Structures are given as structure tokens and as C-alpha cells.
């Protein structure tokens, strides 16, 4: 009825618990005939170690929390970032023999639970994903002493290594590209300003425009399609003569293109559009979207590896991955 224990295996194999433990944990100091004896007993009984008992004594759990800031509204549901990042990180962790515990830090309640969870050492380490600047969770987690890494540089907080892509360089490249195409009234749709990616992309946009003596035309979105459409409508109202728009991510660029279509503007003839991220959907818009490729999967994998390094006692410095302009037909 009850699952076999170490002791049962030991009895069956005619050896001690210690020996079975050694075999199960792959220690080399066991004679090979005894090892075989034990392995046979393990297979016959279908023995699987009890992880709770193990981690009670080792103080390791071999699992890692991936904490994703989740909007309380269920609206922004089919977020390509989530899928790409979580999958890439999971693969990396699983390859290292770590379990992934996924936590959504949407509400204050969820954040509290996450804090407690980590404090209870239910996990050995934490990877934070897309944290907003105002979020108190990173700092709270840092006090638990658990190794921490952030996917994306956290805004307003410098307590853990992070991996980000070159938001400033990528955005600058995008805007310069529009200038080279002869566009003169270039607007931008920014992401939420409590996120560092949005801050960086916006300030790079401003920088490049002010270098060339042009003025900024800015609307703020929240990285969702719908917000991109709304921001675009606002921009057209503010400056009907604009001839280009740089959206801080592809989702908003897609929304912007719909808004432009509805307003009777042709892309790229009347208004050029450039996005950021190069999600798969950017290939399927009409026209296909010019965008800045940010290696989100790579970034997530790098974050995961950084964290695994920390766990091995290595120390870790922030990493910035390069981006690349992908020119398609929307500009």
C-alpha cells in the first residue's frame, strides 16, 4: 500500500540504508556488485526517493520559482512574451535538473504569498520576469537571502543581477532607420513608464530626435495591442501630419496598424511603422512589420543560466544582449 522506503530497499538487497542512499545518489564509493544488487532491489520495488525527506535534511529543494508579474485583469492574456520566456527558462532549468514553480504576482495577495513561499525556502532560487518599477516584491525577496535574478533590468531597484537586451541601442536604430527613410514627423508609442524597457526605448527615441533637432510626439501604452490602437488614435489626433511611428513593442505596433487602417492611412505609404521585439506575429501583419529583434528566448535562457551559476556559487554581473533591426515592408 505505502510506497517503499530506503529501508525496504536495504532489507531487500541485504545491505544498509546508507549503502542504498549512496547508490541512489550516485556516489562512486560503492563496489559495483553491491551497486547492481541495490539497483535490482530498487527496480523490483519501484522505489522512488521521497523528496520531502531528502530536502528536509539537505536543505535543498532543487526547484526554482519563476515569478511573473501578472495583470489582475485577465485581458492581456495571449502575451507572446510569457510563452517564450517561460518556455525558454523552463527548458534551461529542467536541463539542469531543477523544477520550475510558476508564480503569478498579480495581486498584493499573490505577492504576499510569493514572499512567504520564498521565505519558507520552498525554492532554492528565484527568477523574476517583467517586474514593474513600483513593485515591492523584488526588494522583499532580496531580504530572504535567496539567490535572485531578473529577466529584464528592474526599474528603480539594483539588488540582483539581470539580463536585458539593448533597448537603448535597438530603439535608436529603429528611429534612425525612419529618419533615413526620409520620415520627418516621427511619433512613438511608449510602454508603461514603470518598466525599464519602456523607459530606455523612450529615452533613446527622444535622444535621437533631439540630436537631429526634431520634436518628440509621444503617447503612452501598456504593451498591449489595444493600448497601441488607442495610443495611435491619440497620436493622429495630436498630429494628423505624422508620417511615422515607432511602437515600443510589436503588440502595440499591431494595434497601431489597425488604428491607422481605420483612420484611412496606408502603411507604409502614409505612415511608416516600426515595432520592437520581432515576435512571430510581426511576420504575418499586412504589410509585414519592420521591427527590432530582441532575443527574448535567449534572454530568458541567459537569465536562467545566470541563476544556475549563482547557485553554484559563481558570481554574476548584468548582461546586455544585442538587438538587430529587421526591415520588412511597414517602413
User: Which of 104-112, 165-173, 190-198, 236-244 is the region at the interface with a second copy (rule: CB under 8 A)?
Assistant: 104-112
Among 1, 26, 56, 109, binds DNA (CB under 7 A): 56
Count of residues that bind a second copy according to CB under 8 A: 58
Does residue 122 bind a second copy (CB under 8 A)?
Answer: yes
| Per-residue contact flags (x/-) with a second copy for residues 42 to 81, judged by CB under 8 A | ----x-xxxxxx-xx----x-x--x---x---x--xxxxx
Q: Is 18 in the site for a second copy (CB under 8 A)?
A: no
* Residue of the chain from 43, 286, 322, 327 that contacts a second copy (CB under 8 A): 286
19 binds, among a second copy, DNA, none (CB under 5 to 8 A by kind): DNA
Q: How far is the CB of 276 from a second copy (least distance, A)?
A: 14
3-state per-residue secondary structure call for the chain: CCCCCHHHHHHHHCCCHHHHHHHHCCCCCCCHHHHHHHHHHHHHHCCCCCHHHHHHHHCCCCEEEEEECCCCCCCCCCCHHHHHHHHHHHHHHHHCCCEEEEEECCCHHHHHHHHHHHHCCCCCEEEEECCCCCCCHHHHHHCCCCCEEEECCCCCCCCCCEEEECHHHHHHHHHHHHHHCCCCCEEEEECCCCCHHHHHHHHHHHHHHHHCCCCCEEEECCCCHHHHHHHHHHHHHHCCCCCEEEECCHHHHHHHHHHHHHCCCCCCCCCEEEEEECCHHHHCCCCCCEEEECCHHHHHHHHHHHHHHHHCCCCCCCEEECCEEECCCCC
Quick check: 40 binds DNA (CB under 7 A)?
Answer: no
Q: Work out how close the CB of 184 gets to a second copy at its nearest, in angstroms, rounded to a whole number.
A: 27
Nearest distance, CB of residue 54 and DNA, angstroms? 4
Does 241 participate in binding DNA (rule CB under 7 A)?
Answer: no
Partner touching 315 among a second copy, DNA, none, CB below 5 to 8 Å by kind: none
**Closest distance to DNA from the beta carbon of 35 (Å):** 7
Q: Residues 6 or more apart from 75 whose CB is under 8 A from it?
A: 224, 226
15 binds, among DNA, a second copy, none (CB under 5 to 8 A by kind): DNA
Distances (CA, A) of 282 to 14, 78, 255, 291, 326: 64, 15, 12, 8, 10
Among 1, 26, 31, 109, binds DNA (CB under 7 A): 31
d(CA 231, CA 235): 6
CB 277 within 8 A of CB 252: no
User: Residues 299 to 328: which contact a second copy by CB under 8 A?
Assistant: none
Verify binding: residue 86, a second copy, rule CB under 8 A: yes
> Quick check: 57 binds DNA (CB under 7 A)?
yes
**Does 143 contact DNA by CB under 7 A?**
no
Stretch of 110-118, 180-188, 208-216, 238-246 lying at the interface with a second copy (CB under 8 A): 110-118
Cell 489582475 sits on residue: 72
- For DNA, which residue of 36, 43, 50, 327 counts as binding (CB under 7 A)? 50
Residues within the interface to a second copy (CB under 8 A): 3, 46, 48-53, 55-56, 61, 63, 66, 70, 74, 77-84, 86-88, 90-91, 94, 99-104, 106, 110, 113, 116-117, 119-122, 225, 254-255, 257-258, 261, 279-281, 283-286, 297
Amino acid at each position: 500500500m505505502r510506497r517503499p522506503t530506503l529501508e525496504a530497499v536495504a532489507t531487500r538487497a541485504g545491505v544498509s540504508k546508507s549503502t542504498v542512499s549512496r547508490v541512489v545518489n550516485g556516489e562512486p564509493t560503492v563496489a559495483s556488485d553491491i551497486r547492481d544488487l541495490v539497483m535490482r532491489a530498487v527496480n523490483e520495488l519501484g522505489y522512488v526517493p521521497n523528496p520531502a525527506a531528502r530536502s528536509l535534511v539537505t536543505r535543498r529543494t532543487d526547484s526554482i520559482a519563476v515569478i511573473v508579474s501578472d495583470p489582475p485583469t485577465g485581458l492581456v492574456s495571449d502575451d507572446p512574451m510569457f510563452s517564450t520566456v517561460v518556455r525558454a527558462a523552463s527548458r534551461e532549468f529542467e536541463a539542469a535538473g531543477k523544477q520550475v514553480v510558476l508564480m503569478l504576482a498579480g495581486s498584493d495577495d499573490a505577492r504576499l504569498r510569493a514572499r512567504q513561499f520564498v521565505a519558507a525556502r520552498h525554492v532554492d532560487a528565484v527568477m523574476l520576469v517583467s517586474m514593474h518599477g513600483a513593485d515591492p516584491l523584488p526588494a522583499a525577496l532580496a531580504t530572504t537571502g535567496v539567490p535572485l535574478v531578473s529577466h529584464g533590468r528592474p526599474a528603480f531597484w539594483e539588488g540582483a543581477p539581470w539580463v536585458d537586451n539593448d533597448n537603448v541601442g535597438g530603439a535608436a536604430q529603429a528611429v534612425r532607420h525612419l529618419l533615413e527613410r526620409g520620415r520627418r514627423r516621427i511619433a512613438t508609442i511608449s510602454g508603461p513608464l514603470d518598466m525599464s524597457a519602456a523607459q530606455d526605448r523612450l529615452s533613446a527615441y527622444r535622444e535621437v530626435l533631439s540630436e537631429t533637432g526634431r520634436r518628440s510626439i509621444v503617447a503612452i501604452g501598456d504593451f498591449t495591442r489595444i493600448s497601441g490602437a488607442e495610443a495611435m488614435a491619440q497620436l493622429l489626433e495630436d498630429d494628423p501630419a505624422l508620417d511615422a511611428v515607432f511602437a515600443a513593442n510589436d503588440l502595440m505596433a499591431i494595434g497601431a496598424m489597425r488604428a491607422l487602417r481605420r483612420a484611412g492611412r496606408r502603411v507604409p505609404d502614409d505612415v511608416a511603422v516600426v515595432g520592437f521585439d520581432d515576435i512571430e506575429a510581426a511576420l504575418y501583419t499586412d504589410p509585414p512589420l519592420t521591427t527590432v529583434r530582441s532575443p527574448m528566448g535567449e534572454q530568458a535562457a541567459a537569465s536562467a543560466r545566470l541563476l544556475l551559476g549563482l547557485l553554484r556559487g559563481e558570481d554574476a554581473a548584468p548582461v546586455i544582449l544585442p538587438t538587430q533591426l529587421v526591415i520588412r515592408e511597414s517602413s
